[in-house]
């Protein structure tokens, strides 16, 4: 049977599994299946799979978004987060199914439910406005609500690309009684708090928070212990770094967390595993000698970012921890002893983005993607190493679709550093034919391309393009020195890495048509696309998404601008404006002759749309042509990953059409 290539509209057909959670007895896993329905709306449904059974069973169905399932300690109930009432709230249901019961009614919603060890309470978090309490209920006062006449802002961090305009809202924590629904507040004040985990005896809750004197300027994130019965908090870290996901050892004597200590870099420091001994008060970095990134740093465009991170998961005897590690375009699961010895448990050329572990059953359930699989669940037997695939969500769809398999490449940049990446041949590739090539540049810059599914790349391959994607200096996965090498040097050696990648592809692969090159990227990738077309006319077309063009203005309009610029550009507008201007692509507009498509979300708080507006107007005013500007109303910085599905499809269509206009690909015959 002749297969067809990927289309933009195929986004509506793709599914993936995430957030697996094993039951207390280790015999059943609950997980989230994400899809897009006939109305082009996201749907999240909960499924359970008894590991001895042949098929999973749906727990929730219909026009709902149900996420974050968590078992009660006795395995009889499941808590989860759902928007079925209008805002995200905590719900409960019987583990065998049935009608769910709403547990929280917080005005702005609730999230991250964590069961107490005795099953009596659930800790959760909620955004509260100034003067608001957990007892202000969802929907109250909505009929009388009107747009405010004025908003008085006093904080620097008053907006977020994740949550929009926060103004005076802060994330607070509370307990809810599972039976009565009574809520007890645990935190307050002008600080954000994130729930972590309960101590085994149920007496303490480990959380993270920035409770420094000036959270706008001091960007540390500390680990605290809150006594459930009331009393003085215990602060475990020293406000000299950022720490996340605290987890208790089974005996309650130690706490593990992921994070980094750094006075120089906030974003460009690798995360490591730390253990705090509660008896001695000693904090130890157990991966201090391991030059890798703890956690999944892989960039993809099918699964939305922000999947629940299991953190460091303890073995029952407290001698070791299981963690996800990112290295050389792959992410896998490692067992790390308290002495720092690391053993890979789940590896290969793929992307592990979540897992759950059960010691007695010696079982890991991992959520895994690779270049041909958007995201499925696998069971790994830790005794034998045997692996079994539990889901195959896109089997029927892919039966009719031809995918391109990436080829791994490694080359030497101009100054001798090694750079790693991949190239996709066009779908329907024929030896002896010449094909246009698109260089794709990831965002971050501290993230990494890797062995994961990428819908956009497969679409371009189906349209007749070779696709080149690499991890230039600044990327995770190749050690901390490599990751920090772009700081203060945006458009320097990272630019040369990208150009070396193109030189390598043109020299190494005879199917690449050197006269038909395109370049595209989003966020940092958009910045570098802007920079590249200001440095060279080598490319026939460029597509820049949610980009930065002017570091001077970015400083004041981005939700992270004032501190991100200081770290990444190592300058600010007052002490070194010349350096900020030097690294701004808008400075190079006079050199820009490449046809450029500019796309941006109107509600992007990370790289606000003024960046696109400046570039577009300047190019137009200077008579640079052709340039086109596409705006996406309501879209945030996550447009291409978790944005409105129809906008995501339109974005892909605009991208493909722009390259087709200026690069004339030969569409494979199988698509006719």
Q: How large a percentage of the chain has pLDDT more than 70?
A: 97
Q: Which two tokens stand for residue 239?
A: 């406000």
Helix (H) or strand (E) holding 408: strand 407-412
Q: Which is catalytic among the residues 199, 553, 637, 640?
A: 637
Predicted confidence band of residue 145 (pLDDT cuts 50, 70, 90): low
How far is residue 556's CA from residue 519's CA, in Å, rounded to a whole number? 28
pLDDT-based confidence at 267, cuts 50/70/90? confident
Query: CA-CA-CA-CA torsion for 308, 196, 180, 89, nearest 10 degrees?
Result: -30
Instruction: Please name the residues in contact with 487: beta carbons below 8 A apart, sequence gap of 6 or more.
Output: 265, 268, 474, 567, 568, 570
What DSSP line would sit under 221-237, residue for residue? BEEEEEETTS---EE-S
Asked if the model's pLDDT at residue 457 lies above 80, the reply is yes
Query: Chain centroid to CA 289: how far?
Result: 26
Q: What is the DSSP letter of 144?
A: T
What's the mean per-residue pLDDT of the chain? 95
Partners of 469 in the β-ladder: 422, 440
DSSP-derived pairing of the beta strands 342-346 and 330-337: antiparallel
Q: Is the pLDDT of residue 11 over 50?
A: yes
Instruction: Quick: pLDDT tens for 420-447.
Output: 999 999 999 999 999 999 999 999 999 9
What does the pLDDT read at residue 219?
Answer: 86
Among 82, 260, 404, 523, the active-site one is: 523
Given a cut of 80, whether residue 140 has pLDDT beyond it is: no
Q: List pLDDT tens digits, range 384-406.
A: 999 999 999 999 999 999 999 99
Cis peptide before 626 (omega within 30 of 0): yes
Q: Which helix (H) or strand (E) holds 530?
A: helix 524-535
pLDDT above 90 (res 168): no
pLDDT in tens, 302-345: 987 767 889 999 999 999 999 999 999 999 999 999 999 999 99
The whole-number pLDDT of residue 671 equals 44
Structural domains for the chain = 404-663 (3.40.50.1820)
- Banded pLDDT at 572 (limits 50, 70, 90): very high
Active site residue 18: no
**pLDDT score at 264:** 65
Whether the per-residue pLDDT at 468 is higher than 50: the answer is: yes
Distance between CA atoms of 350 and 368, rounded to whole angstroms?
A: 7
Question: For position 303, what pLDDT does the model report?
Answer: 84
Backbone angles phi, psi at 646, to 5 degrees: -65, -35
pLDDT tens digits, one per residue of 99-121: 999 999 999 999 999 999 999 99
The answer to whether the CB of 616 falls within 8 A of the CB of 565 is: no
User: Looking at residue 571, what is its pLDDT?
Assistant: 95
Residue 1's pLDDT is what?
67
Classify burial at 214, counting beta carbons within 10 Å of its beta carbon; exposed 0-12, middle 13-18, buried 19 or more: exposed
The per-residue pLDDT for 483 is: 96
Residue 672 has pLDDT above 50, yes or no: no
Predicted pLDDT at 217: 87
Distance from chain centroid for Cα 393: 21
Per-residue pLDDT averaged across 156-167, rounded?
A: 89
Active-site residue, 420 included:
no
- d(C-alpha 555, C-alpha 1), whole Å: 55
Sign of CA dihedral 571, 574, 577, 583: positive
DSSP state of 613: H
Contact present, 30 and 48 (Cβ < 8 Å): yes
**Distance from the Cα of residue 379 to its chain's centroid:** 23
Tens digits of per-residue pLDDT, 19-62? 999 999 999 999 999 999 999 999 999 999 999 988 999 999 99
Task: Tell me which residue has tokens 């003024």.
Answer: 610
- Separation CA 44–CA 18 (nearest Å): 10
Task: Find tokens 């249901």 and name the residue.
Answer: 93
């Amino acid at each position: 049977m002749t297969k067809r290539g990927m289309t933009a509209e195929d986004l509506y057909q793709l599914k993936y599994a995430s957030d697996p959670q094993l039951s207390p007895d280790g015999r059943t896993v609950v997980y989230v299946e994400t899809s897009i329905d006939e109305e082009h709306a996201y749907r999240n449904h909960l499924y359970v799979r008894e590991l001895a059974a042949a098929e999973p069973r749906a727990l929730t169905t219909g026009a709902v978004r149900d996420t974050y399932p968590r078992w009660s300690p006795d395995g009889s109930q499941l808590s989860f987060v759902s928007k079925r009432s209008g805002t995200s709230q905590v719900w409960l249901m019987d583990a065998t199914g049935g009608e769910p019961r709403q547990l929280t009614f917080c005005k702005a919603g609730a999230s991250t439910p964590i069961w107490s060890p005795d099953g009596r309470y659930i800790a959760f978090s909620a955004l509260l406005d100034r003067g608001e309490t957990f007892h202000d209920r969802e929907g109250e006062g909505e009929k009388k609500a009107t747009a405010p006449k004025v908003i008085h802002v006093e904080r620097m961090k008053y907006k977020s690309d994740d949550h929009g305009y926060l103004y005076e809202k802060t994330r607070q924590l509370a307990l809810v009684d599972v039976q009565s629904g009574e809520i007890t507040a645990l935190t307050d004040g002008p600080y954000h708090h994130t729930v972590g985990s309960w101590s085994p005896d149920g007496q303490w809750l480990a959380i993270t928070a920035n409770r420094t004197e000036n959270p706008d300027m001091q960007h540390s994130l500390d680990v605290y212990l809150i006594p459930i019965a009331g009393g003085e908090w215990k602060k475990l870290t020293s406000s000299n770094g950022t720490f996340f996901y605290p987890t208790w050892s089974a005996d309650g004597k130690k706490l593990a967390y992921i994070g980094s200590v750094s006075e120089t870099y906030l974003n460009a420091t690798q995360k490591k595993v730390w253990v705090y001994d509660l008896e001695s008060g000693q904090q130890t970095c157990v991966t201090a000698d391991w030059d890798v990134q703890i956690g999944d740093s892989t960039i993809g465009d099918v699964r939305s970012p922000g999947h629940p991170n299991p953190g460091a998961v303890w073995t029952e005897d407290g001698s070791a921890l299981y963690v996800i590690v990112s290295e050389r375009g792959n992410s896998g699961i490692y067992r790390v002893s308290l002495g720092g010895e690391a053993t890979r448990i789940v590896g290969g050329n793929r992307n592990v983005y979540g897992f759950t572990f059960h010691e007695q059953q010696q079982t890991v359930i991992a959520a895994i993607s690779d270049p041909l699989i958007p995201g499925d669940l696998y069971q790994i037997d830790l005794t034998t190493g045997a692996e079994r695939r539990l889901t195959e969500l896109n089997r029927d769809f892919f039966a009719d679709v031809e995918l391109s398999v990436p080829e791994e490449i490694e080359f030497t940049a101009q100054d001798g550093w090694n750079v790693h990446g991949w190239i996709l041949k066009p779908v329907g590739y024929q030896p002896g034919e010449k094909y246009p090539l698109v260089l794709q540049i990831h965002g971050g810059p501290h993230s990494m391309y890797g062995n994961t599914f990428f819908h956009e790349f497969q679409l371009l391959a189906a349209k007749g393009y070779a696709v080149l994607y690499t991890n230039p200096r600044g990327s995770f996965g190749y050690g901390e020195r490599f990751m920090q090498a772009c700081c203060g040097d945006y458009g320097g050696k990272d630019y040369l890495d990208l150009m070396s990648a193109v030189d390598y592809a043109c020299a190494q692969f005879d199917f690449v048509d050197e006269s038909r090159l395109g370049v595209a990227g989003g966020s940092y990738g958009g910045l570098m696309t802007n920079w590249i077309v200001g440095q060279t006319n080598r490319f026939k077309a460029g597509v820049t998404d949610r980009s930065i063009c002017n570091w001077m203005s970015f400083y004041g309009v981005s939700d992270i601008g004032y501190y991100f610029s200081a770290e990444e550009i190592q300058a600010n507008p007052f002490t070194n404006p010349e350096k900020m201007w030097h690294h701004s692509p808008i400075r190079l507009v006079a050199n820009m002759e490449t046809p450029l498509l500019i796309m941006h979300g109107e509600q992007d708080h990370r790289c606000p749309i003024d960046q696109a507006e400046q570039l577009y107007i300047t190019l137009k005013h200077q008579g640079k042509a052709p340039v086109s500007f596409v705006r996406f109303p309501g879209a945030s910085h996550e447009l291409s990953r978790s944005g409105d599905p129809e906008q995501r499809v339109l974005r892909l269509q605009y991208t493909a059409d722009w390259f087709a206009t200026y690069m004339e690909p030969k569409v494979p015959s199988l698509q006719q």
